[in-house]
Amino acid sequence: MFRFLTGGESHGPALSTVIEGLPAGMPLEAEPINEQLRRRQGGYGRGARQKIETDAAEILTGVRFGRTLGSPVTMLIRNRDWANWGSRMQIEPVTGGAEETKPITVPRPGHADYVGMVKYAHDDLRNILERSSARNTATLVAVGAVARVLLAEFGVNIVSHVTRIGSVAAPPVTGITADELYERAEASPVRCVDESASEQIIALIDGAKKRGDTLGGVFEVVAFGLPVGLGSYVHWDKRIDGRLAMAVMSINAIKGVEIGMGFGVAEVPGSQVHDEFTVGGETGVQRLTNRAGGTEGGITNGEPLVIRAAMKPIATLMRQLGSVDLATGEAKPAFAERSDVCAVPAAAVIGEAMVAITLAQAFLEKFGNDSLTETRRNYDGFVATYRTSL
């Protein structure tokens, strides 16, 4: 089983993760991981924190001479800003007559502050925001980067692009390869492939910053090169579309997920929804369309996987929203800490990571994970059964 745990706080010494279940013999070095970490920190509208941190993963265990051993892989991402927070986030008890940092007791609407304080009986929302912070998605991107290395061994390529920020939506992208989509998205400061929409989005972000406001949007993740057969219709929790939706929805600030046509399937008759078969293609059977977005019956169907997510505007506003001081019961403006204006381009990279993790888990469930040799043998044997059967 491919699984992982992450640890760390936003302003603590470091973020960490332990990954279990990677096949032995898989190539793994730090640079592909660091490249994804750099992409996560980019995008127009990011805040000052990205200028402080230069994220880099240190691989501590589970790898020898550039290949996995089959044992757990441990990675560390150090927080450079820890140097400025040592006394406020120290691990040891406060001693010697020193006072603890004054607690923060005014929760921010839209954050985990209030519900976290109630659930875990904390009287300082610093204890909540440090872990609930999107800073912790750096570990998800690191794990996702490892998953991408595995999937790339079998020709799977995962890319993303921003389709909307605020009121500006880009036209749909069709008939484009994975490499073309990646290059055009990466060339845009907001990771939008349409140049006109990119310019409008940048102006929109500038306006929101001046007002002390924030913006959300929509991004799309596409996985090319998937085989038929990942996931299952047999049990509800094995359905690949359900697992993908949960993984992407778990990203900070994501409030909606759709696959393929998504909510659009409710607007038109079935003749305009379902993907007809025809004779031809690599396997002797091919699709005329990909409205389903790469899944049928909870299983990948060999077409590109297309999943979109809607991200709400960031909940920390410089133009503070109304709140209540939980220590005194008084009405007060919400607590404000430095924040991004718009993080949709970064969220798209995190979305890629969560899709990669979910697909890697399903991939290893299907094809085995003791060694990369075993995984490849099982993959090749299975693919041959349906690619040559007709």
24-38, 46-60, 220-234, 326-340: which has the minimum mean pLDDT?
46-60
pLDDT for the residue 208:
94
Residue 389 clears pLDDT 50, i.e. is over it: no
CA 43 to centroid of chain Cα atoms:
15
Structure tokens at 67: 């290949």
Please, which pLDDT band fits residue 339 given cuts at 50, 70 and 90? confident
Residue type, 296: E
Q: Write the CB contacts of 364 (distance below 8 Å, at least 6 apart in sequence).
A: 1, 2, 21, 23, 150, 375
Question: Residue 49: pLDDT band by 50, 70, 90 thresholds?
Answer: low
Cβ-in-10-Å burial (0-12, 13-18, 19+) of 357 comes to: buried
CA distance 26 to 83: 36
Provide the pLDDT for residue 335. 82
Q: Three-state SS for 319?
A: coil
φ and ψ at residue 262, rounded to 5 degrees: 60, -130
In percent, the amount of the chain with pLDDT more than 70 equals: 96
Distance (Å, whole) CA 52 – CA 335: 22
Mean pLDDT of 131-148: 97
- Mean pLDDT over each residue of the chain, to the nearest integer: 94
pLDDT exceeds cutoff 90 at 86: no
* Range scoring the smallest mean pLDDT among 28-32, 116-120, 277-281, 324-328: 277-281
Mean pLDDT of 173-186: 94
Across residues 344-359, what is the average pLDDT?
A: 98
Domains of the chain: 105-387 (3.60.150.10)
Look at residue 387 and tell me whether its pLDDT is greater than 80.
Answer: no
The contacts of residue 356 (CB under 8 Å, 6+ apart) are 144, 145, 147, 148, 151, 158, 223
Q: 267: left (phi > 0), else alpha (psi -120 to 50), else beta?
A: alpha
Q: How many CB atoms lie within 10 A of CB 103?
A: 13
DSSP structure string for 207-237: HHHHHT----EEEEEEEESPPEEEE-SSSGG
Beta-sheet strands, E only, within the chain: 3-8, 14-20, 57-61, 63-64, 67-68, 73-78, 157-165, 168-169, 217-224, 228-231, 254-259, 277-280, 284-287, 295-296, 299-301, 305-311, 322-324, 331-333
Q: What is the distance between the alpha carbons of residues 338 and 209, in angstroms, rounded to a whole number? A: 12
SS3 label, residue 274: coil
How does pLDDT run across 297-316, given as a tens digit for each residue? 999 999 999 999 999 999 88
* Span 205-226, average pLDDT: 96
Q: Residues for the chain: how many in total?
A: 390
Decide: 191 and 345 in contact? Cβ < 8 Å: yes
Question: What is the chain's Cα-based Rg?
Answer: 22
Q: What percent of the chain has pLDDT over 90?
A: 84
Task: Tokens for 201, please give them.
Answer: 């989005």
Q: Is the pLDDT of residue 390 over 50?
A: no
Residue 222: phi and psi, rounded to 5, are: -125, 130
Q: How far apart are CA 334 and CA 211, in angstroms?
A: 16
